[in-house]
Amino acid sequence: MSDYNHYRSFGISRDVFELSEEAMRQARDTYIRVDQIKEKRQLEVLHAFMEARVSESTFMAKTGYGYGDVGREKTEAVFAYALGAEDALVRLQFGSGTHVLATCLRALLKSGDDLLIVTGRPYDTLLPTLGIVEDALKGQRLYPDDLSGISRQALSSCGVKIRQLELMESGCPNLSSIRSCIKPETRVVYMQKSRGYAERRALVAEDIASVVRVVKEMSRDVVIFVDNCYGEFVESVEPTHVGADLIAGSLIKNPGAGIAPSGGYIAGRADLIEEIAEGMTAVDVGRYIGPSLGFSRLLLEGLYFAPSVTASALKGAIHFCALFTLAGYRCMPGIHDVRGDIVQLIQLDDVKALESFCRAVQASSPVDSFVTPAPAPMPGYDCDIIMASGSFVQGSTIELSADGPLRPPYHAFVQGGLTFENARLGAMKALESLRQFERM
C-alpha cells in the first residue's frame, strides 16, 4: 500500500487515491508477467553487449564522413544481437520512425513492385509516403481525400502498386486473404505492430508468426517487414525472432529509454540491411558513412536500460487502464490482455474532455509541467492533434505522454513513463481533471 501523503501535495483527492490503490491490486498478476518478460529481455541485452565486446573506446567520437567509426559499428552489432537479427543499421541521423520506415520502403521497392499492407490503414504520417493505396480485395482506391495532390516522392508516383488488407474483427491478420493476395510481383508484405490512432489491438508475436508462415508458403522471396514502433521489449521476443525479415523503429520510443537524443534503427537480414544502407546514402557508399558524433554512449546506454524502462511504461499503461476502467471509462487493451505495445487507449467521447486529459498529463511531467497543451496542425495528419509531452527529449513517447486527434470518438492515447510513479501520478491527475470537467 502507498502513502496518500505522497500524492496529496499534487492535488490528488483521497477518493482518487483509493481508486488507484484498488487498480494496483487488480493489476498485480499482470505486473508479475511484465516483470518476468523484463528479466528475460534485460539479460538478453546484457548478453548482446558482451557478445559485441563493447569497451570504453566504443564511446569515442568520429566526425566528417565517419569512416571506420568503431562506436557506430559496435552499436549496430549490439542492436542486432539484442533484437535477434543478422545485422542492423542504427543512425542518429534518422529524425523519426516515419523517416526510418520511408527509407526502408523506398530502398526495397521499385517500379512494378507490389507492396501488400496486411494490418489495415497505417499510421497517419506514413500515408503521404505511400500515395495511392487500393483495397487488396476490391481494387478500390482508399482514402483519396487524405492524399490529394500526390507527391512525386510518393511510392505510387514511382510506379509501386500498394494494396491494403483489413484485419479481422478479432484484430488478427486475415490469413486466407493474405494467401490469396500474394502475387508474383509482391515484393514486401508490411505489418504495423502498434495500433496507431486506431481502436484495433496491437499485434503480438503469435500474429506475426502466423503471417510469416502463410507468406513463406506462397513465396520465399517476399520480404516481411514490420513497423516495430512502440513494440520493442514488450514481449519475450521480437518479430525477427519469429521469422520477420526486417523490423524498424525510432530511438525516441522504447529502445532509447528516454536517453537516446534522436535516431532510429533497422534490423533484420544482412542482405536487406545492405540494400537499405545504399538507399539511405548512395550506392557503394552504403553504411560506411554517417558519423556517430560521440553519441554512441547515449544510444547504447538507452538500449541497455530499454527493457526496464519499457516495463515501467507498460505498468503505467496497465494502471491507467485499471484506474479508468474502475471510473467507468472504456479502455483498450484491458487490464489482463496480452499486450503487443505500450499504448493505452481511453475513450473520452468529448473534445473538451480530451483536452482536459492531455493537460493533466502535461501537468504531471518533469519538464514543462507549467505549459498548457493546445490543439494544433501537425505535419502528416489530416486534423488537429493535441499532445502532452513534458519530456527530456522532444517528442519522446517512451516518456509519459498523451495525445489524440481531434476527431470523434475522441480517444486519448497514452504511452510511456520512464518511471512507474510518474505514470501513476499522471493517471490520477488525469482522472481528477476529468471529474472537475464533468462537474462544470
Indicate the pTM of the whole model.
Answer: 0.95
- Sheet of strand 87-91, all strands in order from the earlier edge strand to the far edge: 87-91, 264-268, 246-250, 223-227, 186-192, 114-117, 161-164, 133-135, 141-142
Q: What pLDDT is attached to residue 148?
A: 60
Q: Is 5 exposed, middle or buried (0-12, 13-18, 19+ CB in 10 A)?
A: exposed
Q: What is the pLDDT of residues 198-224, one digit of tens each?
A: 889 999 999 999 999 999 999 999 999
Residue 113 in grid coordinates: 513492385
- Give the C-alpha distances (Å, rounded to integers) separating 27 from 20, 22, 319, 320, 346: 10, 9, 7, 10, 17
CB atoms within 10 A of CB 397: 27
DSSP 238: -
Residues with Cβ within 8 Å of 234's Cβ and at least 6 positions away in sequence, in order, are 37, 254, 310, 314, 339, 340, 341, 342
- pLDDT truncated to tens, each residue of the chain (440 aa)? 789 999 999 999 999 999 999 999 999 999 999 999 999 999 999 999 999 999 999 999 999 999 999 999 999 999 999 999 999 999 999 999 999 999 999 999 999 999 999 999 999 889 999 998 999 999 898 876 655 678 999 999 999 999 999 999 999 999 999 999 999 999 999 999 999 888 899 999 999 999 999 999 999 999 999 999 999 999 999 999 999 999 999 999 999 999 999 999 999 999 999 999 999 999 999 999 999 999 999 999 999 999 999 999 999 999 999 999 999 999 999 999 999 999 999 999 899 999 999 999 999 999 999 999 999 887 667 789 999 999 999 999 999 999 998 988 899 999 999 999 999 999 999 999 999 877 76
Q: Which domains does the chain have, with CATH numbers?
A: 5-41+304-439 (3.90.1150.60), 60-295 (3.40.640.10)
Residue 247 · residue 83 · CB < 8 Å: yes
Closest CA to 414 of 195, 98, 96: 195
DSSP 157: G
Please tell me the distance from the alpha carbon of residue 144 to that of residue 268, in angstroms, as a whole number: 33
Length of the chain measured in residues? 440
Residues with Cβ within 8 Å of 401's Cβ and at least 6 positions away in sequence, in order, are 361, 387, 388, 389, 391, 414, 415, 416
